[in-house]
Amino acid sequence: MGPANHRLGTASTYPFNVMGKLWSKVTAPHLSELPHKGDLILGNDVWLGRHCVVMPGIKIGDGCIVAAHSVVTHNLAPYSICGGNPCQVIKKRFDEELIALLLEFKWWDLTPKDLVDFIPLLCDFDLKKVKEELKRRLLK
């Protein structure tokens, strides 16, 4: 159904005309009648756990982690760890300063060559070092 949801005001919620052929000739143009919620927008470096359900029109921010079996019914902030039904923020992955630096730097836009050089920093547990290097690179 993409960015839409099912019709709720009819005896059946099924969009019969999507089956084509004779079915589409005897039904109303369901797609134009669906309540459109907008596109699903997944940020960069998002991790969706197994069997997540993400409703139409949701925006999941860069670096967000969504736990397995979560049902996402509202937008999720960048670099947050979320889970549950309905999905809720459990905690932020990093402090506000590091989140802001990562969002400003946008490492996912690096060229493949530059990314190869940057990967060791992305995998470093020393977040103070990561912050300092991001600040240095952003000043260039």
6 is a catalytic site residue: yes
Q: What residues have CB less than 8 Å from 57, skipping those under 6 apart? A: 3, 36, 37, 38, 39, 40
- C-alpha 87/C-alpha 95 separation (Å) is 21
Considering only CA atoms, which of 75, 61, 48, 70 is closest in space to residue 108? 61
Considering only CA atoms, which of 17, 45, 21, 27 is closest in space to residue 115? 45
**What is the distance in angstroms between the CA of the first residue and the CA of the last residue of the chain?**
45
Q: Are strands 65-66 and 80-84 parallel, antiparallel or unpaired?
A: parallel
Instruction: Write the CA distances from 70 to 37, 60, 84, 101, integer angstroms.
Output: 19, 13, 5, 28
The catalytic position among 6, 36, 51, 69 is 6
The residues annotated with a catalytic role in the active site are 6
